[in-house]
Structure 1
Amino acid sequence: MSTPPETTLAAARAAAVERLTAAGVPTPEVDAELLIGHVTGLGRGELAAAIVMGRSLPSRDAAQLAEYVARRAAREPVQHITGTAWFRSLRLSVGPGVFVPRPETELLVQYAIDELRALPDPEPIAVDLGAGSGAIALSIATEVPQSTVFAVENSVDAFVWARQNADQVGATNATVVFDDIAHALARLDGTVALVVSNPPYVPDAAVPRDPEVRLHDPSHALYGGADGLDVVREVSVTARRLLRTGGRVLIEHGELQGEAIRDILAADGWEAPATFRDLTQRDRITSATR
């Protein structure tokens, strides 16, 4: 393959946007700028300034960008290409084998943080069941530094990513634990203030339409049985075991699952199951009290 000639950043951005748009990428402008930034080391604001100033893109960088754009046009997630996912204030490492954290999950974390900050307990314990990359647990740990946070994950690949992210973030109050949800952290039974989970909740037959999800997110992080709620049922049982009286559980789920999850929680003896909507007014989070 011949090396592309030197070009301007403006021309490189325009060409990348055009190719990604043609490939059906949902956010071609944002993704083009993220890929150019990954090649050049420029943030999006810096890139905008560099484009205005007419800065050029060296031929070696143009060749690297062309490779990245081709991968993104084939619908590989941009986070896999850059190796990075931003979540709240955290820059996390992600790649094959781990679920890429979504912006909507930041709302779940905000609920969790608000719950912990409102407690009179000076050192509350929080548990994230099914931690994936560690995005939820590490956000809680860094934003509520007086808490002690345990991140439970039973996928080897995801556990490795979570451990790497915990090391990068440097949150000494967070511990990543390799275990199944059903058997996790028995030593903490009856002492935990908050359990939070973004479990796999896609029904087995409901294959996602987006190639980024269908082809690249690990199936164990997506599918939750025939009705999508098998892991939610495990979370309900384990959370009741872990939580002290008055402790709370927060579960993220699909927009049509709130009622079914409230029924599961009520049947398991939880008090006051309630469902909250996200910023698009879709049911997103269900909570209950131990």
Structure 2
Amino acid sequence: MTLGEWLEEATRELEPAVQAAARPEAEQLAARVLGGETEALAPERELDGRAVRRLRDLVSRRVAGVPLGHLTGVAGFAGLELVVGPGVFVPRAHSELVLEAGLRAVAGVVAPEVVDLCSGSGAIALALAHRRPDARAQAVEFDPVAADFARRNAARRAALGDTAIVVHEGGVTGAGRLTGLDGQAALVLANPPFMPEQAEVSDEFGRYQPRQAIFGGADGLWVVRQVVAAATGLLRPGGTLVLEHGHLHGATVPALLRGTGQFTEVTCHPDQDGWPLYTVAVRAEGGPAAS
């Protein structure tokens, strides 16, 4: 079998599961097994039996719902290649909109202090540091496996010349103590777990992505509430919170933020398909202290 023939086979098998991404994902799996970059794949290359078996096994696992990043060991986010694997949430392209909103919020701020809560692999903090070398970014992640991936990615990006970020292993509720930024941050970003415990999700998110990165209590807001409280303490007056919450919370999260009396300019924003994705809120001037 040639590589070109295998790519056609793999694309057909992947299409029901990943739709338009089938061919690119097949190419990424091939590059993982054969080495090199996807652009250098030669369709006429003859594959031996061992390679074909490995490639078909990867396709079967992907169709079953295993995240692509857990199969390849890497994930792309906002132009960066990050190390990922079992035990850490694979960043999604949707979250690049959260990053862009954060960048807009601090466009006029020199050397902004930035905190990325529920950082996972460190994707958002690292992409922001790449785009804003003057920013001082800190990432907070409670899960030790995910925090280790974040530290590895931070070291890789620093070695490539990006501004170093600081990764803290700890919970959201201790973010002020960990970062030392109570009342000083210009920007807080967060992609917390926000799915209700009983929500029906695909196998990729229900079985293979780390559960603690997906589900946020009975109503999905357990960690979200912690993020709001932490951001209230971290942000300086006029600072911005950008909080990803998905389509189920397009009304509840903005209402939660308005109900604190500590945020203004609360606006919900959609993803690429028009579904609610994240909310932006500004820390009120002279707002009451966080409890």
Indicate whether 1:32 and 2:26 are aligned.
yes
**Structure 2 contact 134–163 (Cα < 8 Å) conserved:** no
- Which residue is 2:5 aligned to? 11
- Which residue is 1:239 aligned to? 231
**Equivalent position to 2:281, from 257, 265, 288:** 288
- Which residue is 1:108 aligned to? 98
User: Offset of 1:42 from its aligned partner?
Assistant: 4.1
Query: 1 CA distance for matches of 2:63 and 2:224?
Result: 35
Query: 1 CA distance for matches of 2:276 and 2:15?
Result: 30
Indicate whether 1:162 and 2:156 are aligned.
no
User: Offset of 1:59 from its aligned partner?
Assistant: 4.1
Where do 1:145-160 residues align within 5 Å? 145-160=133-148
Matched pairs, number: 276
User: Offset of 1:30 from its aligned partner?
Assistant: 2.6
User: Offset of 1:31 from its aligned partner?
Assistant: 2.1
- Which residue is 1:129 aligned to? 117
**Equivalent position to 1:192, from 185, 198, 208:** 185
User: Offset of 1:179 from its aligned partner?
Assistant: 1.3
Code of the residue aligned with 1:178 in structure 2: it is E
**Structure 1 contact 13–32 (Cα < 8 Å) conserved:** yes
**Structure 1 contact 100–217 (Cα < 8 Å) conserved:** yes
* Secondary structure at the counterpart of residue 160 of structure 1: helix
**Structure 1 contact 124–146 (Cα < 8 Å) conserved:** yes
User: Offset of 1:203 from its aligned partner?
Assistant: 0.8
**Structure 2 contact 176–233 (Cα < 8 Å) conserved:** no
Indicate whether 1:20 and 2:20 are aligned.
no
**Equivalent position to 1:205, from 198, 217, 238:** 198
**Structure 1 contact 116–144 (Cα < 8 Å) conserved:** no
**Structure 1 contact 132–158 (Cα < 8 Å) conserved:** yes
- Which residue is 2:39 aligned to? 45
**Structure 2 contact 130–163 (Cα < 8 Å) conserved:** no
User: Offset of 1:185 from its aligned partner?
Assistant: 2.9
**Structure 1 contact 25–75 (Cα < 8 Å) conserved:** no
User: Offset of 1:158 from its aligned partner?
Assistant: 0.8
User: Offset of 1:130 from its aligned partner?
Assistant: 0.5
What is the CA deviation profile of residues 127-151 of structure 1, one whole-angstrom value per residue up to 9, with x for unaligned ones? 0110001000110111100000010
User: Offset of 1:25 from its aligned partner?
Assistant: 4.7
Where do 1:243-282 residues align within 5 Å? 243-269=235-261, 270-282=263-275
- Which residue is 2:63 aligned to? 73
Comparing 103-112 and 266-275, the one that deviates more: 266-275
What is the CA deviation profile of residues 85-114 of structure 1, one whole-angstrom value per residue up to 9, with x for unaligned ones? 110111111111111100100110011112
**Structure 2 contact 242–280 (Cα < 8 Å) conserved:** yes
Code of the residue aligned with 1:81 in structure 2: it is L
- Which residue is 1:142 aligned to? 130
* Secondary structure at the counterpart of residue 247 of structure 2: coil
Gapped runs of 5+ residues in structure 2?
284-291
User: Offset of 1:247 from its aligned partner?
Assistant: 0.5
What is the CA deviation profile of residues 155-198 of structure 1, one whole-angstrom value per residue up to 9, with x for unaligned ones? 11111111111111114431000111011133210111000101
- Which residue is 1:222 aligned to? 214
User: Offset of 1:214 from its aligned partner?
Assistant: 1.1
**Structure 1 contact 250–287 (Cα < 8 Å) conserved:** yes
Code of the residue aligned with 2:209 in structure 1: it is D
Normalization by structure 2: what TM-score?
Answer: 0.89
What is the CA deviation profile of residues 211-240 of structure 1, one whole-angstrom value per residue up to 9, with x for unaligned ones? 111111111111111211121111111101
Change (3 A) 1:11 1:137: same
